[in-house]
Structure 1
C-alpha cells in the first residue's frame, strides 16, 4: 500500500506510527509543514518512508523567514511537500505571503532540476495552476486532495499533474466525481493523517486501504488490481525522478 501524503511527525506518537508503517511495509511520503521540521521528521524515516521538504501555505506568513533554510535543505530532498496555496477566507488575508512562498519554492525547484511536489490547492486551484504553468521545469506536481472544478481538473491534467486521493476525499460525491475523471495512470493514494478523519478520529496511514475499495468501485476493477496499478504508478514516478 501507498500513503503519498501523510504528516507522520504530527501524530501524538510519531515514532510508533513510523514503526508500524515500517512493519506493514507501507510506502509513505512523510510531508513536512516547515523547513525547520525537516531534521526531526527525517529522523523518523526508515525502510519505505520518504521525507518531503515543505512550507505549508497556511503557515507561509509566519514561516516565510525559513525560506533560506528551505534552499539549504533542498539539494538533500528529491521530494517537496506540503507546499501550495490556500484560498479559504481565514487564510486569504495572507495571500501575498502564500504566493511569495510558493513562487520561491517553484523557482528553487526549477533551478535545482525539478522535484516531485505534493501540492495543496484548496480553493486556489486556478492560482496554483497559473504558477505551475510559469515554472514548467519545477518538477512533477501531485495535487493532494484536489477539490477544484472539472474545468480546473482538465487543465491540471493537460499540465501533466498527478493526483493523490484518500478515504476522506472519496467520501464526498464531488471527490468521487473528480477522481473518476483523473487519469488512472497518474493517481496515488494518501491518508492526509492526522488531519483527515475516519470514524471521528484521525486516520492512520495504513487505513489508506479504504481508498482502494472506492477506487475499485469507480474504476470497475478488482481491489487487488487497483493496488497493483497504484504501486506501478509510484514506481514509474520514482523511475522518472531517478532519471532526472
Structure 2
C-alpha cells in the first residue's frame, strides 16, 4: 500500500494502492505508521507522494458503502487521526501531488507544509458537496488557512474541482511541475527548508501552524458523529450509490 524511499535527510512515503490510491482503513493506518516511523528513524523532512497521474482519488466510497455505522465511524475517525498526524508532524511535510487529487486526497495535502502539483489536465478540490457529503469545519478551516475565507467558501459550497493552473492561482498549491518532476521539486523545497537553522525554523513553523495543531489536538473532540450522521443521510447515500454505479460503468 505504500512505497518508502530514502532521500538523504528526507523520507518519501508514496501512496501505492492501485488503481487510484483510494483511502481505506488499512491505507490510513499504514500512512500513520509510516509517518511515525520516518520521524523515529531520523528523517528531518517527509515527502508524501502518489503515482504518476494520481495522488489519491480520495475515500474508497464503494468499500465504505458496504460498512455498517460502527465501521464507517471507525474509518472517519482514522481519517481525522491521519490529518492530525500530518498537522502535528514534528518535521516539515511536502505533498507531491502527482496527478488528480479530489476530496480526501486534497484534504491530506492541506495538512502538509507545502504542495507541489503536476502541471497539466489534473484536478484538485474538495468536491464533497457534489457527492452529497458535508465538509465539517475542521476540514474547512484547513482550506481557509491556505486560500483565505472567501475563496474557500466559494470552492467548498460549489464542491469545485479545479485544474492545476487554477489551483496555483488561488494558492491551493504552491508550485507546478511536470508530472515526472513533482517529487524532485518537492525535495528541492524541502532541502532548502532543511538548510535553514533547524531550531529557529522548527520553532517558527510550530507557531505558524498553531491553529491547525490546536484544532486537531484531540481527534475525539471533533464532530465525528455529526459527520457520520450526514454520511448516512438518505440523500447522501443515494448520491454516493449513483456515483459508484457510474464508476462501475467506466470499468
| TM-score computed with the length of structure 1 as normaliser | 0.33
